[in-house]
């Protein structure tokens, strides 16, 4: 075991897969000579050469399209969006071509799109979004969103080996702030399995990505028996884990940094309402960003993104209910 | 406003605007000739609600049927005069509608905060509701309701520690853990005076009040509160009352004949298609009904009612057909059934059954029967001893038609075994009004008619 940052764990997983399997290659803007905007692929071009670490033009449609072609031909491309926000330029290729290829023609498209997402550093509306819910409306895509270093590596490896197109949501705020023990060598985390990050009896916080850490810290500081379920995979959702936690505590707060409407939290709340109604002791609540773009101004951004105090307040309210 | 809490319906101020109120009364309607009174089952509107003309304002049940009462005028419900559950005579005013009110005016209940604060607060010293908090002591979440139902807990007795005094899951669990479900002072309702469980429970409870003599600590029997309780629907209550009443009133006997339905089956096969084209579904029941009606005309002792020390013989055969509903049954009546052909009978049975299931029977549809047929055989039962529909003197039960080997006369008159569609006709009859020979003769007539159907 080595203690790595979340970012190092992603690098580690990608490097190991590229070493293990020659069909794995990566492509994106400034990922080669520059080592990537966030340095995830620092040193990759030296080790694997420009054939497997492709610097591309600023054209996300071309990146995704090229990856689809390569995947169909038997390679395993890993695309980097410099910022998750930019995926909108490659959206048609992703949701209409990659996602539906298997349904239309029975052809697997084993590719990964890495999406550095999330705010908290005054990146403003084009560099801070959490667009995961966009992909939940495109059946055929899988979506993962690790919260820990170990899961970042394990889920990236699983995503690369998965025969479907997988959106890999990596939260920029976690890159250097979250570190943890990461198994060296082969390490996979199954797609579709949530993880109980903290056991509790009184209420559940169901979260993913950066909100998992907020929830854990809030639970610790409140000193209450709060269960924290880290979804890890957003599509397909681990319904059993969601329902089992909801049935156990009867009170659920769903938390994410993404905006509120029609997002993961809404879906989780709906699943609970449909299947665990008789076990509920309180309304299912959500803690999310409001339905607004992320402001540049640091104080405004703080007001928009859920903060630790918001998490604690939401937990207190539900505990008292 | 005065300092004393006002009654539902709002204070005087709320009504100032309707000083010139034009009040229209909602009356308990006359539902068919035989209905004298009705029971309100549910109010769909509360005082202060807006109601459109002809919109259902409440539901009423009678001993015959359930009906929806339409509002006689559009307006605001001023007052409800008869609470749900009360039984009142036809013509009684049930509610008043202010027909001069305009839609959109403030609802008395909408002066919410004021009224809520005036609502009597729980007196108990340990009431948890803090100042200004909405009282949630009467709200029970799904999981709390489920746990309470599973353990037979009266939630009113559980102290809530949630916001506004709400009973939380852990409150009800703690209550059960403390033995609250069997707490003294809330005895289980006595199911039966001689119930051994009741005595045992009392014995178990006694030591809590006073030290028990040694040796009385026998193993406690399981609590009797398991299972789910729900109130009987008005229909269920009616059926319960009528059935027990009939058992108590009539001297029930049941006579059974076995009938070979080969000829009926053959005729049914012939007629089924042409009748279906005319929209009529031909069932065995229609044949039996026709045969029974013909037999009733020749055996008037069966087409009768008991009225005190007299027996009333009826001129018409008003044939009751029992129709199973989701929870209960109803017996609509086919009037002057002696006038109906086989096709007419089949159509009439389908009509009343359909209207019964759609809850669209009129009160007069279920009144005045002189003889009843019940037909639960579709579920495969072969024998039953039905209870007479009072004040009639007999009820005929048609059960499943089953193929059986029977002994028949062969071509040369010798005995032979054949496979025939057979059924039992079971008839319960009132020994006060007739005797076994009457019943047997009557059933014999039906049997002969069915076995020689052409």
The answer to whether residue B145 sits within a structural domain is yes
User: Using 50, 70 and 90 to split pLDDT, how confident is the model at B107?
Assistant: low
What separation in angstroms does the CA of A110 have from each of A25, A87, A165, A234, B228?
12, 18, 5, 18, 53
**Burial class of residue B259 in the structure, from the number of CB atoms within 10 Å of its CB (0-12 exposed, 13-18 middle, 19+ buried):** buried
User: Using 50, 70 and 90 to split pLDDT, how confident is the model at B105?
Assistant: low
A272 to chain B: which residues are within 8 Å by CB? none
Q: Quote the CA–CA distance of B129 and B120 in Å, as a whole number.
A: 12
Q: Quote the CA–CA distance of B428 and B393 in Å, as a whole number.
A: 8
Instruction: Kindly determine whether residue A250 and residue B163, on different chains, have CB atoms separated by under 8 Å.
Output: no
Average pLDDT of chain A, as a whole number: 97
Q: Quote the CA–CA distance of B26 and B97 in Å, as a whole number.
A: 7
Shortest CA gap A212–chain B (Å)? 26
Position with higher pLDDT, A199 vs B49: A199
Instruction: Kindly determine whether residue A279 and residue B146, on different chains, have CB atoms separated by under 8 Å.
Output: yes
DSSP B383-416: ---PPP-TTBSEEEEE---EEEEEEEE-TTS-EE
The answer to whether residue B200 sits within a structural domain is no
Q: Do domains A2-182 and A195-320 have the same CATH topology?
A: yes
* Residues B335/B368, Cβ–Cβ less than 8 Å: yes
pLDDT, position B223 = 54
The three-class DSSP label of residue B374 is: strand
The answer to whether residue B55 sits within a structural domain is yes
E-assigned strand segments in B263-413: 304-307, 310-313, 319-321, 323-325, 328-330, 333-334, 371-374, 394-398, 402-409
- Minimal Cβ distance to A278: which of B142, B166, B170: B142
The answer to whether residues B30 and B128 belong to one domain is: no
The answer to whether residues B39 and B130 belong to one domain is: no
B423 contact partners, CB below 8 Å, separation of at least 6: B258, B259, B261, B284, B377, B382, B398, B399, B400, B401, B402
Residue A187 falls in the annotated catalytic set: no
Shortest CA gap B128–chain A (Å)? 12
Radius of gyration of chain A (CA): 19
pLDDT, position B324 = 86
B162 to chain A: which residues are within 8 Å by CB? 320-321
Position with higher pLDDT, B181 vs A263: A263
CATH annotation of A195-320: 3.40.50.920
H-type helices in A51-106, by residue range?
A: 60-72, 91, 99-105
Q: Per residue in B286-338, pLDDT tens?
A: 999 999 999 999 999 999 999 888 999 999 999 999 988 877 888 999 999 99
- The answer to whether residue B194 scores a pLDDT higher than 50 is no
Could you tell me the two tokens for A295? Answer: 């402001």
- The answer to whether residue B277 scores a pLDDT higher than 60 is yes
Q: Quote the CA–CA distance of A165 and A155 in Å, as a whole number.
A: 13
Q: Quote the CA–CA distance of B406 and B422 in Å, as a whole number.
A: 9
Tokens 């005929």 correspond to what residue?
Answer: B396
For A257, which DSSP code? E
Closest residue of chain A to B134, computed from CA coordinates: A321
Position with higher pLDDT, B94 vs B190: B94
> To 5 degrees, how large is the angle CA B448–CA B451–CA B452?
85
The answer to whether residue B211 sits within a structural domain is no
What CATH number is associated with residue B95?
2.40.50.100
- The answer to whether residue A266 scores a pLDDT higher than 90 is yes
B107 contact partners, CB below 8 Å, separation of at least 6: B48, B49
Nearest Cα residue to A175 out of A112, A121, A132: A121
Instruction: Kindly determine whether residue B166 and residue A250, on different chains, have CB atoms separated by under 8 Å.
Output: no
Q: Quote the CA–CA distance of B310 and B403 in Å, as a whole number.
A: 43
* Residues A230/A219, Cβ–Cβ less than 8 Å: no
Instruction: Kindly determine whether residue A321 and residue B166, on different chains, have CB atoms separated by under 8 Å.
Output: yes
* Residues A90/A40, Cβ–Cβ less than 8 Å: no
Backbone angles phi, psi at B32, to 5 degrees: 80, 160
Average pLDDT of chain B, as a whole number: 80
Q: Quote the CA–CA distance of A26 and A32 in Å, as a whole number.
A: 9
Q: Per residue in B371-423, pLDDT tens?
A: 999 988 777 888 999 999 989 999 999 989 999 999 988 888 899 999 999 99
The answer to whether residues B405 and B354 belong to one domain is: yes
Return contacts of B220-225, CB within 8 angstroms, 24+ apart.
B221/B197, B223/B152, B223/B181, B223/B182, B224/B188, B224/B191, B224/B197, B224/B198, B225/B151, B225/B152, B225/B181, B225/B182, B225/B188
Could you tell me the two tokens for A109? Answer: 């498209």
- Test the A interface: residue of B130, B141, B228 with most A CBs within 10 Å: B141
A vs B, Cβ pairs < 8 A, gives: 28
The answer to whether residues B170 and B306 belong to one domain is: no
The answer to whether residues B406 and B344 belong to one domain is: yes
Catalytic position from the list B151, B252, B314, B431: B431
Q: Quote the CA–CA distance of A165 and A97 in Å, as a whole number.
A: 10
**B307 phi-psi bin (left φ>0, alpha ψ -120 to 50, beta other):** beta
Number of domains composing chain B: 3
* Residues A98/A64, Cβ–Cβ less than 8 Å: yes
Kindly state the percentage of chain B with pLDDT values over 90: 39
Nearest Cα residue to B82 out of B26, B152, B150: B26
Residue B351, H or E segment: helix B342-357
The three-class DSSP label of residue A139 is: strand
Provide the residue ranges of all domains of chain A, joining segments of one domain with +.
2-182, 195-320
The answer to whether residue B46 sits within a structural domain is yes
The answer to whether residue B305 sits within a structural domain is yes
Could you tell me the two tokens for A161? Answer: 């080996």
A278 to chain B: which residues are within 8 Å by CB? 142-143, 145-146
User: Using 50, 70 and 90 to split pLDDT, how confident is the model at B64?
Assistant: confident
Shortest CA gap B348–chain A (Å)? 44
Q: Quote the CA–CA distance of A190 and A201 in Å, as a whole number.
A: 26
For A141, which DSSP code? B
The three-class DSSP label of residue A26 is: strand
The answer to whether residue B203 sits within a structural domain is no
What CATH number is associated with residue B413?
3.30.559.10
Q: Which of B85, B109, B133 is the last residue in one of the domains?
A: B109
The answer to whether residues B294 and B314 belong to one domain is: yes
The answer to whether residues B164 and B305 belong to one domain is: no
B163 to chain A: which residues are within 8 Å by CB? 320-321
Position with higher pLDDT, A258 vs B44: A258
- The answer to whether residue B355 scores a pLDDT higher than 80 is yes
Could you tell me the two tokens for B446? Answer: 């039906």
Nearest Cα residue to B340 out of B299, B392, B287: B287
A121: contact with B, CB 8 A cutoff: no
The answer to whether residue B205 sits within a structural domain is no
Q: Per residue in A46-94, pLDDT tens?
A: 999 999 999 999 999 999 999 999 999 999 999 999 999 999 999 999 9
Residue A19 CB neighbours (<10 A): 11
Handedness of CA B83, B86, B89, B90 (dihedral sign): positive
pLDDT, position A202 = 96
pLDDT, position B415 = 92
User: Using 50, 70 and 90 to split pLDDT, how confident is the model at A178?
Assistant: very high
pLDDT, position B34 = 72
Sequence length of chain B is 454
Kindly report the pTM of this predicted structure. Answer: 0.52
ipTM score of complex: 0.76
The answer to whether residues B349 and B426 belong to one domain is: yes
Tokens 């490097």 correspond to what residue?
Answer: A15
* Residues A272/A282, Cβ–Cβ less than 8 Å: no
- The answer to whether residue B217 scores a pLDDT higher than 50 is no
B134: contact with A, CB 8 A cutoff: no
pLDDT, position B239 = 87
B160 to chain A: which residues are within 8 Å by CB? none
Buried b / exposed e along A258-297 (16+ C-beta atoms within 10 A): bbbeebbbbbbbebbeeebeebbbbebbbbbbeeeebbee
Tokens 């509608």 correspond to what residue?
Answer: B97
Return contacts of A247-250, CB within 8 angstroms, 24+ apart.
A247/A276, A247/A279, A248/A201, A248/A204, A249/A200, A249/A201, A249/A202, A249/A203, A249/A204, A249/A281, A250/A203, A250/A279, A250/A280, A250/A281, A250/A282, A250/B141, A250/B143, A250/B169
Structural domain including B74 reads 12-109
Q: Quote the CA–CA distance of A39 and A54 in Å, as a whole number.
A: 15
pLDDT, position B212 = 42
A279: contact with B, CB 8 A cutoff: yes
Pairing of strands A203-207, A226-230: parallel
- The answer to whether residue B114 scores a pLDDT higher than 60 is no
Q: Quote the CA–CA distance of B333 and B322 in Å, as a whole number.
A: 9
Could you tell me the two tokens for A59? Answer: 């054209």
Helices (runs of H) and strands (runs of E) counted in chain A:
12, 14
* Residues B403/B423, Cβ–Cβ less than 8 Å: no
What superfamily does domain A2-182 belong to in CATH? Thiamin diphosphate (ThDP)-binding fold, Pyr/PP domains (3.40.50.970)
A275: contact with B, CB 8 A cutoff: no
Residue B208 CB neighbours (<10 A): 12
Position with higher pLDDT, B293 vs B215: B293
Return contacts of B357-364, CB within 8 angstroms, 24+ apart.
B357/B323, B357/B325, B359/B66, B361/B65, B361/B330, B361/B332, B362/B31, B362/B32, B362/B65, B363/B31, B363/B32, B363/B34, B363/B35, B363/B62, B363/B64, B363/B65, B363/B67, B364/B32, B364/B33, B364/B34
- The answer to whether residue B123 scores a pLDDT higher than 50 is no
B113 contact partners, CB below 8 Å, separation of at least 6: none
| Mean pLDDT, range A5-32, rounded to an integer | 97
User: Does the N-terminal peptide bond of residue B39 adopt cis geometry, omega within 30 degrees of 0?
Assistant: no
Backbone angles phi, psi at A192, to 5 degrees: 100, 5
């Amino acid at each position: 075991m080595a203690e790595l940052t979340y970012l190092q764990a992603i690098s580690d997983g990608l490097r190991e897969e590229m070493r293990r399997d020659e069909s794995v290659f990566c492509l994106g803007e400034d990922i080669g000579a520059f080592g990537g905007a966030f340095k995830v692929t620092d040193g990759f071009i030296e080790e694997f050469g420009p054939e497997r670490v492709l610097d591309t033009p600023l054209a996300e449609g071309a990146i995704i399209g090229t990856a689809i072609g390569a995947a169909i031909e038997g390679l395993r491309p890993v695309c980097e969006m410099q910022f998750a926000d930019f995926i909108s330029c490659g959206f048609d290729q992703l949701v209409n071509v990659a996602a539906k290829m298997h349904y239309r023609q029975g052809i697997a498209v084993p590719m990964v799109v890495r999406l550095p997402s999330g705010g908290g550093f005054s990146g403003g509306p084009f560099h801070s979004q959490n667009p995961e819910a966009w992909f939940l409306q495109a059946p055929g895509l899988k979506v993962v969103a690790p919260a820990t270093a170990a899961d970042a590596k394990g889920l990236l490896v699983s995503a690369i080996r998965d025969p479907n197109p997988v959106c890999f949501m990596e939260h920029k705020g976690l890159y250097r702030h979250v570190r943890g023990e990461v198994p060296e060598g082969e390490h996979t985390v199954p797609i579709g399995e949530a993880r109980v990050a903290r056991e509790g009896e009184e209420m559940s916080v169901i979260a993913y990505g950066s909100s998992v850490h907020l929830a854990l810290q809030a639970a610790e500081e409140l000193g209450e028996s709060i269960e924290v379920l880290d979804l890890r995979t957003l599509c397909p959702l681990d319904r059993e884990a969601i329902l089992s936690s909801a049935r156990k505590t009867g009170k659920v707060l769903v938390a994410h940094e993404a905006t509120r409407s029609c997002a993961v939290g809404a879906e989780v709340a709906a699943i609970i309402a449909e299947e665990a109604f008789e076990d509920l002791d309180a309304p299912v609540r959500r803690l999310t960003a409001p339905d607004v773009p992320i402001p540049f101004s640091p104080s405004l951004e703080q007001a928009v993104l859920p903060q630790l105090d918001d998490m604690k307040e939401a937990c207190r309210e539900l505990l008292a209910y | 406003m005065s300092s004393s809490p006002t009654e539902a319906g709002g204070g005087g101020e709320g009504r100032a605007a309707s000083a010139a109120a034009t009040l229209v009364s909602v009356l308990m309607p006359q539902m068919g000739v035989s209905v004298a009174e009705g029971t309100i089952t549910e109010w769909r509107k509360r005082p202060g609600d807006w109601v459109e003309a002809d919109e259902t304002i409440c539901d009423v049940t009678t001993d015959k049927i359930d009906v929806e009462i339409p509002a006689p005028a559009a307006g605001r419900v001023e007052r409800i005069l008869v609470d749900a559950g009360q039984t009142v005579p036809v013509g009684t005013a049930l509610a008043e509608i202010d027909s001069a009110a305009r839609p959109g005016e403030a609802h008395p209940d909408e002066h919410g905060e004021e009224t809520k604060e005036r609502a009597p607060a729980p007196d108990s010293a340990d009431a948890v509701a803090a100042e200004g908090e909405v009282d949630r002591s009467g709200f029970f979440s799904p999981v709390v309701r489920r746990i309470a139902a599973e353990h037979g807990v009266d939630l009113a007795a559980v102290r809530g520690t949630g916001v506004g005094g709400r009973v939380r899951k852990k409150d009800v669990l703690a209550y059960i853990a403390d033995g609250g479900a069997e707490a003294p002072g809330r005895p289980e309702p006595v199911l039966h005076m001689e119930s051994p469980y009741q005595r045992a429970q009392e014995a178990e409870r006694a030591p809590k009040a006073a030290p028990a003599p040694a040796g009385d600590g026998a193993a406690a029997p399981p609590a009797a509160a398991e299972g789910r309780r729900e109130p009987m629907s008005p229909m269920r209550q009616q059926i319960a009352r009528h059935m027990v009443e009939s058992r108590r009133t009539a001297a029930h006997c049941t006579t059974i004949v076995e009938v070979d339905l080969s000829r009926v089956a053959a005729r049914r096969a012939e007629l089924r298609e042409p009748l279906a084209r005319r929209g009529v579904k031909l069932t065995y029941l229609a044949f039996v009904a026709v045969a029974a009606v013909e037999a009733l005309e020749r055996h008037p002792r069966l087409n009768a009612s008991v009225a005190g020390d007299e027996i009333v013989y009826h001129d018409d055969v008003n044939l009751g057909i029992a129709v199973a509903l989701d929870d209960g049954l109803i017996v609509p009546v086919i009037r002057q059934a002696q006038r109906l052909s086989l096709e007419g009978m089949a159509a009439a049975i389908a009509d009343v059954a359909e209207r019964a299931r759609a809850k669209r029977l009129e009160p007069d549809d279920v009144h005045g029967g002189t003889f009843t047929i019940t037909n639960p055989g579709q579920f495969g039962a072969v024998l039953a001893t039905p209870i007479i529909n009072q004040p009639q003197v007999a009820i005929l039960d048609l059960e499943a038609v089953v193929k059986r080997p029977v002994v028949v006369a062969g071509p040369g008159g010798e005995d032979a075994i054949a496979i025939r569609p057979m059924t039992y006709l079971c008839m319960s009859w009132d020994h006060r009004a007739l005797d076994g020979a009457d019943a047997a003769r009557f059933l014999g007539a039906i049997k002969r008619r069915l076995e020689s159907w052409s």
